[in-house]
Amino acid sequence: MEERRLGPVVGLGTWNTFDADAALAGDVVGAALEAGVRLFDSSPMYRGAESALGAALAGRRDGVSVATKIWASSVEEGREQFHRQLEWYGRVEIEQVHNLVAWREQLAWLERERDDGRIDRLGVTHYASGSFPELAEALRTGRFDTVQLPYNPHEREVERELLPLAAELGVAVIVMRPLGEGALVRRSPAAEELAPLREFGIETWAQALLKWVLSDERVDVAIPATSRPERTAENAVAGRPPWFGPEERRLVERLAG
């Protein structure tokens, strides 16, 4: 798989897939590691997924980036979340302020943790376009190293300001919802409609959508979530070049409707 600033370009999301089911998490994470995935995104909001991820990574933590989040309105609660994360993961490679919640308040202590070496990079996330102006404001402080945002053929608002801004500031980009929370893959185009993409290594519609995202060179990593171990290998294939040009991207946009 191609590697960019955050490592291999296909990671794994953990929202609404294995929750606290440690056995399922072990299967999904194990298959993802086998497929070359090295970045795992989670959050205290994801109903036990953080601890299940920690158990799944036990004994195979080397070379892995945990990208989790602080989702707390007070500093005290944020610190408690971080304390638990250190127990599960030892350290946190990418610590993100979830949905911009109390980001100004959380930043100061998070920066100290980064300076002390328990965090490598600080990030910030939001899923809603109404909050993109504030997300841009947070990036302009120069205090964040990564941003996580939604990007797929049906959600392209980030092309207006956030992707150009991230590129200008040197902020690494993590793409959530690359499959539109599953809505884009519920129906697949016919095999012959995907035929022009075969020379790009594309065999499935999910791969075409992921390669659409990753063919934008401002993106560092896409984090599709799945509860099915075998799909992690399918999704990882989309992380290999060659990348789509404008023509192939337009085809995927047309097929996505």
Q: By the criterion CB under 6 A, which residues form the site for ligand NAP?
A: 13-15, 17, 41, 125, 127, 176-182, 185, 206, 223-228, 231, 234-235
How far apart are the C-alpha atoms of 238 and 121, rounded to whole Å?
Answer: 25
Closest listed residue to residue 179, CA positions, set 70, 243, 242, 252:
252
Minimum CB distance to ligand NAP, residue 19 (Å): 11
Shorter beta-carbon distance to ligand NAP: residue 100 or 169? 100
Minimum CB distance to ligand NAP, residue 217 (Å): 20
Closest listed residue to residue 30, CA positions, set 63, 9, 4, 58:
58
Shorter beta-carbon distance to ligand NAP: residue 43 or 165? 43
Shorter beta-carbon distance to ligand NAP: residue 42 or 112? 42
How far apart are the C-alpha atoms of 145 and 220, rounded to whole Å?
Answer: 12
Shorter beta-carbon distance to ligand NAP: residue 19 or 112? 19
Shorter beta-carbon distance to ligand NAP: residue 115 or 186? 186
Minimum CB distance to ligand NAP, residue 41 (Å): 4
Minimum CB distance to ligand NAP, residue 116 (Å): 26
Minimum CB distance to ligand NAP, residue 178 (Å): 5
Q: Which residue is nearest to ligand NAP (CB)?
A: 13
Minimum CB distance to ligand NAP, residue 87 (Å): 20
How far apart are the C-alpha atoms of 12 and 7, rounded to whole Å?
Answer: 12
Closest listed residue to residue 234, CA positions, set 29, 31, 22:
31
Shorter beta-carbon distance to ligand NAP: residue 172 or 176? 176
H runs (alpha helix) in the chain = 22-34, 49-57, 75-89, 103-115, 132-140, 162-169, 191-194, 205-214, 229-237, 246-256
Minimum CB distance to ligand NAP, residue 210 (Å): 8
Q: What single string gives the DSSP state of each residue in 53-78?
A: HHHHHTT--TT-EEEEEE--SSHHHH
The phi and psi torsions of 65 (rounded to 5 degrees) equal -105, 120
Amino acid letter, 220: D
In this structure, how many other beta carbons lie within 10 angstroms of the beta carbon of residue 81? 19
* Structure token pair of residue 187: 């129906």
Shorter beta-carbon distance to ligand NAP: residue 115 or 214? 214
